[in-house]
Amino acid sequence: MTEKLELLEEHKSFDGVQLKYRHYSTVLGCNMTFSLFLPNKEKFETPPLVWWLSGLTCTDDNFTHKAGAQKKAAELGLAMLMPDTSPRGDDVADSADWDLGQGAGFYVNATQEPWARNFRMYDYIVTELTEIARDTFGLTGPESIMGHSMGGHGALVIGLRNTGRFRSISTFAPIVNPMEVPWGVKAFDAYLGTDRESWPEWDATKLLAEYDGKQIPILIDQGTGDGFFVMQLQPEKLSDIATEKGYPMTLRMQAGYDHSYYFIASFIDEHLEFHQKHL
């Protein structure tokens, strides 16, 4: 797998290095890019790994360019891996709608045509990209996962479905109950089909309600000025379930913050410190 990686960018950043790669994904059937931040090798030989999953319309560049996470990651000795949000390419199914198709993979394994051939972002992250991280870059230490919006949904689902793998989960403005909000219903109808029997395994509220594995601490930040808060996000649903179950989750309502990377940049250091504490 190593020989298939093509280095696209390399930048020294805060005593570490910011990298961007392209490779052919056998899981997704197309070329994919991902970004990777590595702290100073001499100080941190086998750093813990924090995954970042981005939201609708984003690529791996949004986080690396806008979040300002490299300085704190270098200080704490954390590696960060940022996948793209969906398969891409001329031969990959797409939609004219911005919230479906390329840029909107929703971190599920699609079962419906024309999406099933390429849209298997869950398997891509949990298996293929994980193997690259471990085998190529030696990132075999403890892991945590975080994300924003659609990526917050992905982080919660992947974290809760892989009991014992991740030490902590954090999200910014996550879609916590996609079965019941417009973004999620539209994507699940397309990718998973109108028969809702399979939907709960991709919905964090359903997963947490039935969860009986190792408790993974969760931190959620939600801006009160977020225009998507009421209709699309609804993190209080997940918080209520956590309270009922005595699950270790913290929901912080951040006054006036919106859905943008200005919000993420304002609190990313605290999220990385949260993960480092558990890693």
Mean pLDDT by 10-residue block, N- to C-terminus, for the chain (279 residues)? 80 97 97 98 92 98 98 98 98 97 98 98 98 97 98 98 96 98 98 96 98 94 97 97 97 98 98 97
Q: How much is the pLDDT for 2? A: 44
1 belongs to a structural domain = no
Neighbours of 248 (CB within 10 A): 12
184 belongs to a structural domain = yes
Q: 52: domain CATH number?
A: 3.40.50.1820
Residue 239 token pair: 């918080």
Per the CB < 8 A criterion, the answer to whether 207 and 218 are in contact is no
Per the CB < 8 A criterion, the answer to whether 184 and 150 are in contact is no
Measured at the alpha carbon of residue 52, what is the angle toward residues 50 and 57, in degrees to the nearest 5? 175
**Residue-wise DSSP of 142-168:** -EEEEEETHHHHHHHHHHHHSTTTEEE
The residues annotated with a catalytic role in the active site are: 149, 226, 259
The domain of 150 spans 6-277
Q: How much is the pLDDT for 143? A: 98
The residue with tokens 């093509």 is 6
251 belongs to a structural domain = yes
255 belongs to a structural domain = yes
Q: How much is the pLDDT for 144? A: 98
> How far separated are the first and last CA of the chain, in Å rounded?
27
32 belongs to a structural domain = yes
Domain count, the chain: 1
